[in-house]
Amino acid sequence: MARVVVVTSGKGGVGKTTTTAAIGAALAQTGGAGGKGGERVVVVDFDVGLRNLDLIMGAERRVVFDLINVIQGDAKLHQALIRDKRIENLALLPASQTRDKDALTAEGVAQVIAELREKFDWIICDSPAGIERGAALAMHHADTAIIVTNPEVSSVRDSDRIIGLLDSKTERAAKGERVEKHLLLTRYDPVRAARGDMLKTEDVLEILSIPLLGIIPESQEVLRASNLGAPVTLNAPDSAPARAYADAVRRLRGETLDMVVPTERRGFVDRLFGRRVA
């Protein structure tokens, strides 16, 4: 049975697109027979007018058709899907950069999601920021929501707002069912946490009262990966954020793991000279 996952936050710039790419790639690479991968994964960009998932996935030169083209009947779904060159069972459905946001209709989205459910095991939807139409449509068909939150006051407040919408405005809510909700803390800074200047994980969990999927540390490997156009889990699989995302994916699949914040394993030379600015 296909699972539709929305990556959402309310607040902008907290790490939704980074997370969509990392989790999409990690899901496609792991699981399946003998852990060799095998589950089919599609990442869908809902950020019409400001698409970025194509760039983070390194597929920007291959985008010709997009979600809006499919909704308006200008292209078939298979013509708009871009297969990843590195991971066989991973695909991208880009958003439109040029069309108006209003071209994203509720019926159109419903139809595309239904078609994707036939072709894929996981459908990961990258939501735009905000609580308007685009964000509402991105979450509408979700079975599961990953609420990306930074440990700071405005992000936590916006996440609370999004949780309210997930419980009231989605297809599942309308049927009297629940969207499965997970909190993903990102851009977590262990140094500031130690100083006591950052909201504690326990505090955020207590305020939002949804289960924790993972804690992704702040890391320059995220910037390096985006420069190169590769999900961080693929570009630097041993880095702290990649290991944190890998753990989050195992929890998404239902495993129970101890919650640890991975730290960077620094090589001898790195320790000697310090890290270069990427």
Partner 1 sequence: MSIFSFFVRRGTAPVARERLQILLAHERVATSGEGGDVVALLREEILAVIAKHFPIERDRVQVKLDRGSTVSTLEIGVEMPVDAKLGPRARVA
224 binds, among partner 1, Mg ion, ligand ATP, none (CB under 5 to 8 A by kind): partner 1
Does 14 show up as a binding residue in the annotation? yes
Which residue of 111, 218, 224, 229 would you call a contact of ligand ATP, by CB under 6 A? 218
Give a three-class secondary structure readout of the chain. Answer: CCEEEEEECCCCCCCHHHHHHHHHHHHHHCCCHHHCCCCCEEEEECCCCCCCHHHHCCCHHHCCCCHHHHHCCCCCHHHHCEECCCCCCEEEECCCCCCCHHHCCHHHHHHHHHHHHHHCCEEEEECCCCCCHHHHHHHHCCCEEEEEECCCHHHHHHHHHHHHHHHHCCHHHHCCCCCEEEEEEEEECHHHHHHCCCCCHHHHHHHHCCCEEEEEECCHHHHHHHHHCCCHHHHCCCCHHHHHHHHHHHHHCCCCCCCCCCCCCCCHHHHHHCCCCC
User: Distance (Å, rounded) from C-alpha 29 to C-alpha 222?
Assistant: 19
Tell me the window of 12-20, 83-91, 113-121, 213-221 that interacts with Mg ion (CB under 5 A): 12-20
Instruction: Tell me which residues in 79-108 interact with partner 1 (CB under 8 A).
Output: 79, 82-83, 97-98
Nearest to 141 by CA among 161, 113, 104: 113
Site string for Mg ion, 14-33 (x = CB under 5 A): --xx----------------
129 binds, among partner 1, ligand ATP, Mg ion, none (CB under 5 to 8 A by kind): ligand ATP
Which residue of 8, 10, 19, 65 would you call a contact of partner 1, by CB under 8 A? 65
Instruction: Tell me which residues in 243-272 interact with ligand ATP (CB under 6 A).
Output: none
Tell me the window of 173-181, 196-204, 217-225, 250-258 that interacts with ligand ATP (CB under 6 A): 217-225
Tell me the window of 178-186, 204-212, 226-234, 237-245 that interacts with partner 1 (CB under 8 A): 226-234
Residue 72 interacts with partner 1 (CB under 8 A): yes or no: no
Residue 63 interacts with partner 1 (CB under 8 A): yes or no: yes
* Chain positions contacting ligand ATP, by CB under 6 A: 9, 12-18, 47, 52, 129, 186-187, 216, 218-219, 222-223, 226, 241
Which residues are annotated as part of the binding site for ATP? 11-18
Which residues are annotated as part of the binding site? 11-18
* Chain positions contacting Mg ion, by CB under 5 A: 16-17
* Chain positions contacting partner 1, by CB under 8 A: 55, 60-65, 75, 79, 82-83, 97-98, 223-224, 226-229, 267, 269-270, 273, 276-278
